[in-house]
Structure 1
Amino acid sequence: MDRLTPIRAFLAVADTGSFTGAARKLGVSRSAITGHIQELERHLGTQLLNRTTRRVWLTREGRRYAERAGMLLEGLAELDAEIQTRSGRAEGHLHVEMAESVANARVIPRLPEFVQAYPDISLRISLNEGVVDPTVSGADIGLRVGPLRDSPLRFKLLGRGNYIMAASPAYLKLYHAPRHPDELRRHRLIEFWDPDTGRPYDWQLVKGKQTVSMAAEGRLIVDNTRAGLTCALAGLGIYEDLDFLLAQSLAEKRLVQVLPDWKRPGPPIAVLYTARRPVPPHIKAFVDFLVSVFGSGRG
């Protein structure tokens, strides 16, 4: 009997408060979680979870088992890390959560290098357009684009880009390129939804010590960087995004940069990972890989 998988499933239910949340956290089906819980309860001869159609909560024995089992799995993970560190061998399962746009533009094209260098590491890649937080997703490593909020995790800053504007040649042929930010008000703009405010982000352009701010119009709004780029390529307006996300389309001349002297600093890009010392070799290997990806400027 595989004892660890049912225990991990049970702890995921205890942590998320639902079978659906546990399934999402572990990357398996809800029915698989149900089967693991039933298997564990049969083995122990007791009920660990109370269930209704609306909620799931731990029984008295379930609380006790969750506390002790969590300590045991944490100790096992530390033992694995210690032995792997001593042997210097990077192996095992690695769950990596990444911001979708940056992962597709920079990391995944370079992933064959990592797979070839570390054949004993199995990867699970999760892409997220929201805030990447390994403490919520259960990932071993998180690649975040955005503010580095308080976190128990260690982080390493990989860099940051600049926001630039671009439009398709077809759009610029019809409407002509603006020569100053004030002229943007007469253009069609592809704007990005801000989930924190419930409205599109306002525009802010910087040139040296000059700053021009402009309220969003809300005529065409996207909440996904891929959708924004697709709209720009389709000639629907002027789009703003991080320079390295637009680089390929600019190089292929499918987009043309607009107001190239005006830009604004982008958010930090950082990798978050365990604060445990020593860092397990397979985690350190992927962190070093990300440093090489962003340090080289390729991809």
Structure 2
Amino acid sequence: MGKRIQANWELYLLLLLPVAYFIIFRYWPMYGVTIAFKDFTPAKGIMDSPWIGLDHFMTFFHSYNFEQIIGNTIFLSLLLLAIAFPIPIIIAIMLNQVANQKLKRFMQTSIYAPYFISTVVLIGMVFVFLSPNSGIVNTIIVALGGDPVLFMAKSEWFRPIYVFTEVWQNTGFASIIYLAALAGIDPHLHEAAVVDGASKWQRIRHIDIPGITPTIVILFILAVGNLMNIGFEKAFLMQTDINVDASEIIPTYVYKIGIQRGQYSFSAAIGLFNALINLVLLLIVNRTAKKLNGNSLF
């Protein structure tokens, strides 16, 4: 072992910083999870705060808004998984079929550009576009003879707007992964299929899709394993007092309880509960995918 390290010391030196980063900023802070089982106060610290076991978890499970928060989180997560996950695959396959390289690069850049817009700016644009007084969307609605719609003040519009902005902002970035996978498919397969008289749809169905299936499976497993971790920033910025019944999800609730109200132990318990759900989902989906097609994370 020592000889191996000595022979490849440059590689181990490069590995040192990432390992140190994960140990210091990822693993060592996990010790703080113990406050979820304690009545933590900053004055006493983690060690001296009294141990109360699962009391915080039971308090959350019996809270009046438990079903609403869990329901909102799951419903929004499933919407994103059902809509936002397959769209980059479709976009990547469509872009891969564009023969004109200039047009392909222009379309790819146009789709990818929104990824660089910060979430704060994006939501600000949404509020401007959907303004009932001067927003372009309501201007078009009024011009067509309709009445202005208070989009950001109605609970039923929160999820569609959230999903739409998520698709618009992140589709370009996600599609790059699938385009890279498509680029790795042997072109001789397409040439042989063309000689055999296969149409574009047949080549997509029997060459492109099977070729990127391992990538799709891995990203799907990661998406399901991160199902309950909906982006806090976007949901919080879109949240108003009127649409809170649909926009209150676990991340926003943890922020309000932990940061605004200072209930650190209670918010840590909710966060740990959320992480455990993600872990269980990850293990289940990973095991299922491995049995079905042999592709898995581990």
Structures share fold, TM-score greater than 0.5? no
Q: Specify which structure has the higher proportion of helix.
A: 2
More strand by share: 1
Q: Which has the higher contact order (CA 8 A, sep 6+)?
A: 2
TM-score scaled to structure 2, two decimals?
A: 0.23
